[in-house]
Amino acid sequence: MRKLLRAGTVAVLATTALITSGCSTDAGSGGGSGPVELTYWAWAPNLEKVVDIWNEKNPDIQVTVNKQDGGDPAVTKLLTAIKAGSGAPDLMQAEYQKIPTLVSADALADISDGAADLENHFAEGVWSSVTLGGDALYAVPQDTGPMMFYYREDILNQFGLSVPTTWEEYADVARKLHAADPTKYLGTFSANDAGWFTGLAQQAGASWWSIDGDAWGVEIEGDATTTVADYWGGLVEEGVIDNKPMYTPEWNSALNDGGQVGWLSAVWAPGVLAGNAADTAGLWKAAPMPQWGSEQATGNWGGSSTGVTTQSEHKEEATEFATWLNTDPEAIEALVKTANIYPADQAGADEALTEPPAFFSNQPDFYEVAAGVADTVSPFTYGPNVNVAFSAYNDEFAKAAEARTRTAFTDAVAAMQDITVADLKKSGFTVK
């Protein structure tokens, strides 16, 4: 019994400690006197080290990075906090495809007053995705993910195969490779990565949403997307391309043992390859994507921006920080070196990216290839219910990849279209 009493005392002490620590954090965000404290939800690795540079230079505006789960979970959490009326951070890492969703939920503030003269830093397509084509500015672009084709040079050489430059050649190489060694595939069709498929459709010329006055248009089931789905359905049906999702332990192990000879990925791929298949360093090479037509084009996979939330009490300071983080040469250099991102700021990218990533030391012109590819990103408009379209992709294409038939792939595109349109209508948007 005495023991229990003693335990009770410990509990009371701990509780008091909690109260005091709770108070001190509250006092910080109140901001009557002392420095302005900003919280920043982000998931880019080592971002806090870049933020440290800012904190050292700006004792009046201190930024704390709260690391979040990547992508969707952080956005869901932010939307919940916005709905609840409190609990949102001041700054938020937002992927480009989530910006319309966040704007229509009134989660991102218009920061065009504080950051108006940034337009010439960024490519047109990137800029339009943070302005949504209007006068407002909802976020400062941070990084982009122009898609590239990665391949194992040693294995292609071993079988005497050349690097495909068109999709026709890609299919051809895939067939020959799989025939020569049935354990090897030139790639996989991943039903888990909607962003990846969106990039492929974007390359073919698709733009899934459009704005027409106050009405939204949805054109997932258009010629471009259907062509892409039909192409991949054909390869999967033939069995020359794998149908397993990416980012699984199985896929990782195939990257290690040469089971996956190619990867249609984006400019940030070196980081992933170095993490998942460190022993294959120096064996991979990057090339522009295989092409549909004579004009060079590519899609975008990944990339994000820094937005200021509507709940922030210090929007001006937050905007100042977001601008510095993504356009200041020192910040960009730190982003490239410690956070391993491909900066959206074009001049900054040219300046900071002089040497290839360590994993691609065999390809000195890696960033020249990347810069060439980044210029050819096709325009694409995202809508307010990207999450619905993406989860429809996961559901429908999981079935299609399992079925391994060409028609299942085109049916999946049709289903995505129906689900996305139905959801827009249900949420009260006007659909054209």
Partner 1 sequence: MTATATAPVDLPRVAEPRPGKSRGDRGKPNWIATVILLLGALYCLLPVFWVLTASTKDGSELFSTFTFAPSSHLWDNIVELTAYRDGVFWRWMLNTALYAGVGALLSTYVSALSGYVLAKFTFPGKSTVFSVLLMGVLVPGVILAIPQYFLFAQFGLTNTYWSVLLPQIISPYGIYLARIYAAASVPTDVIEAARTEGAGEMRIFSTIATSMMLPGLVTIFLFQFVAIWNNFLLPYIMLGDDGLFPITVGLNGLLNQGATVPALYTLVITGALLSVLPLIAMFLLLQRFWRVDLAAGAVKA
Q: In the structure encoding, which two tokens stand for residue 165, read together?
A: 């430059």
Q: Would you say 112 or 340 has its CB closer to partner 1?
A: 340
Place of tokens 């004792």: 59
- Structure tokens that stand for 12 in this block: 């009371």
Residue 217 interacting with partner 1 (CB under 8 A) = no
Angle at 382 between CA 129 and CA 417, to 5 degrees: 170
The answer to whether 376 and 144 have CB atoms below 8 angstroms apart is no
Among 50, 61, 68, 321, binds partner 1 (CB under 8 A): 68
> 55 or 166: whose CB is closer to partner 1?
55
DSSP state letter for 260: B
Instruction: Name the DSSP class of 377.
Output: B
DSSP string spanning 142-206?
EEEEEEEEEEEHHHHHHTT-PPP-BHHHHHHHHHHHHHH-TT-BS-B--TT-HHHHHHHHHHTT-
Is there binding between residue 85 and partner 1 (CB under 8 A)?
Answer: yes
Which residue type sits at 116?
A: A
Contacts to partner 1 from residues 187-216, by CB under 8 A = 193, 195-196
Binding to partner 1 (CB under 8 A) within 256-285 occurs at: 256-257, 266, 268, 271-272, 274-279
Residues with Cβ within 8 Å of residue 290, at least 6 apart in sequence: 149, 164, 165, 166, 167, 169, 170
Q: Which of residues 326-385 bind partner 1 (CB under 8 A)?
A: 340-341
To partner 1, the closest distance from the beta carbon of 146 in angstroms equals: 12
Span 118-147, contacts to partner 1 by CB under 8 A: 145
| 96 in contact with partner 1 (CB under 8 A) | no
Spatial contact of 61 and 321, defined as CB atoms under 8 Å apart:
yes
249 lies in the site for partner 1, by CB under 8 A = yes
Contacts (CB under 8 A) with partner 1, residues 14-43: 14-15, 18, 21-22, 25, 39, 41, 43
By CB under 8 A, is residue 60 in contact with partner 1?
Answer: no
Chain centroid to CA 423 = 23
Residue 247 found at the interface with partner 1 (CB under 8 A): yes
- Please work out the total of residues on this chain that contact partner 1, with binding judged by CB under 8 A: 60
8 binds partner 1 (CB under 8 A): yes
Check residue 397 for interaction with partner 1 (CB under 8 A). no
Q: Which amino acid is at 324?
A: W
Out of 80, 361, 407, 427, which residue is the one contacting partner 1 (CB under 8 A)?
A: 80
Residues 6+ apart with CB under 8 A from 57: none
Binding residues (CB under 8 A) for partner 1: these are 1, 4-5, 7-8, 10-11, 14-15, 18, 21-22, 25, 39, 41, 43-45, 48, 64, 66-71, 73, 77, 80-81, 84-87, 89, 145, 193, 195-196, 247, 249, 252-253, 255-257, 266, 268, 271-272, 274-279, 301-302, 340-341
